[in-house]
Structure 1
Amino acid sequence: MAAVVLKRTGQKMPLVGFGLWKVTKSSCADTVYNAIKLGYRLFDGAGDYGNEKEAGEGIQRALKDGIVKRADLFITSKLWNTFHAADHVKELAQYQLKLWGLDYFDLYLIHFPIALKYVDPAHRFPPEWFGDDGNVHLQNTPMHETWQAMETLVDSGLVKNIGLSNCQGALILDVFRHARIEPQVLQVELHPYLTQEPLVALCKTLGIALTAYSSFGPQSYVELSMDKGASSLLEHPVVSNIAKSHGKTTSQVLLRWASQRGIAVIPKSNNYDRIVANFQSDDFDLTASDLKALSALNINLRLNDPADIDPRMAIFA
Structure 2
Amino acid sequence: MATSALFEKLALHAPHLSGKQLIPAFIYGTAWKKEATTELVYQAICNGFEAIDTAAQPKHYREDLVAAGVSRAIKDGKIKRSNLYLQTKYTSVAGQDPGNMPYDPSSPVVDQVNASVISSLQNFNFANVVKEGDKAEPYIDTLVLHSPMQTLNETLEVWQTLEQYVPNEIRNLGLSNCNLFTLMDLYERSTIKPSVVQNRFYPNTKYDIGVRQFCKEKNIIYQSFWTLSANPTLVWSNEAGALANQLDISPQSALYCLVLGLGNTTVLNGTKKIQHMQEDWAAVQKAKAYAESHPAQWEKTMADFRKLIGQPKP
TM-score by length of 1: 0.76
CA distance in 2, matches of 1:108, 1:4: 17
Deviation by residue 1:244-278 (Cα, 9 ceiling, x = unmatched): 12222112211111222130111111111112112
| 2:53 partner letter | D
Q: Give the secondary-structure state (helix, strand or coil) at the position aligned to 2:271.
A: coil
CA distance in 1, matches of 2:144, 2:65: 20
The residue aligned with 1:264 is 266
Match of 2:282 among 280, 283, 296: 280
The residue aligned with 2:156 is 144
Change (3 A) 1:81 1:299: farther
- More displaced, 144-153 or 238-247? 238-247
Percent identity over the alignment is 21
The residue aligned with 1:304 is none
Change (3 A) 1:281 1:81: farther
Change (3 A) 1:236 1:209: same
Deviation by residue 1:155-198 (Cα, 9 ceiling, x = unmatched): 5x221111111112211121122211111111111257842222
Q: Give the secondary-structure state (helix, strand or coil) at the position aligned to 1:248.
A: coil
TM-score by length of 2: 0.77
| CA apart distance, 1:209 | 1.3
CA distance in 2, matches of 1:7, 1:46: 22
The residue aligned with 1:6 is 12
Q: Is it true that 1:198 corresponds to 2:200 in the alignment?
A: no
Q: Is it true that 1:87 corresponds to 2:88 in the alignment?
A: no
| CA apart distance, 1:64 | 1.0
Question: Is the CA contact (8 Å cut-off) linking 1:107 and 1:160 kept in structure 2?
Answer: yes
Question: Is the CA contact (8 Å cut-off) linking 1:218 and 1:233 kept in structure 2?
Answer: no
Q: Give the secondary-structure state (helix, strand or coil) at the position aligned to 1:296.
A: helix
Deviation by residue 1:96-140 (Cα, 9 ceiling, x = unmatched): 23234451110110011135xxxxxxxxxxxxxxxxxxxxxxx89
CA distance in 2, matches of 1:86, 1:241: 51
How many residues matched?
264
| CA apart distance, 1:65 | 1.3
**Structure 1 or 2: larger helix share?**
2
Match of 1:109 among 109, 119, 144: 144
CA distance in 1, matches of 2:266, 2:152: 32
Deviation by residue 1:203-241 (Cα, 9 ceiling, x = unmatched): 11111111111121427xxxxxxxxxxx55333343223
Match of 1:41 among 50, 53, 78: 50
Change (3 A) 1:74 1:15: same
Question: Is the CA contact (8 Å cut-off) linking 2:124 and 2:139 kept in structure 1?
Answer: no
CA distance in 2, matches of 1:232, 1:298: 11
Q: Give the secondary-structure state (helix, strand or coil) at the position aligned to 1:215.
A: coil
Deviation by residue 1:56-76 (Cα, 9 ceiling, x = unmatched): 111101111122111010000
Instruction: Give runs of ≥4 in structure 1 deviating > 6 Å.
Output: none
Question: Is the CA contact (8 Å cut-off) linking 1:185 and 1:208 kept in structure 2?
Answer: yes
The residue aligned with 2:39 is 30
Match of 1:214 among 226, 230, 233: 226
The residue aligned with 2:30 is 20
- More displaced, 105-114 or 189-198? 189-198
| 2:147 partner letter | F
User: Any unmatched runs of 5+ in structure 2?
Assistant: 1-6, 94-102, 127-137, 292-297
User: Any unmatched runs of 5+ in structure 1?
Assistant: 116-138, 220-230, 301-317
Question: Is the CA contact (8 Å cut-off) linking 2:27 and 2:268 kept in structure 1?
Answer: yes
Question: Is the CA contact (8 Å cut-off) linking 1:189 and 1:212 kept in structure 2?
Answer: yes
Q: Give the secondary-structure state (helix, strand or coil) at the position aligned to 1:28.
A: helix
| 2:13 partner letter | K
Structure 1 residues 183-194: aligned runs within 5 Å: 183-191=194-202, 194=206
Q: Give the secondary-structure state (helix, strand or coil) at the position aligned to 2:89.
A: strand
| CA apart distance, 1:141 | 5.9
| 1:2 partner letter | E
Question: Is the CA contact (8 Å cut-off) linking 1:45 and 1:78 kept in structure 2?
Answer: yes
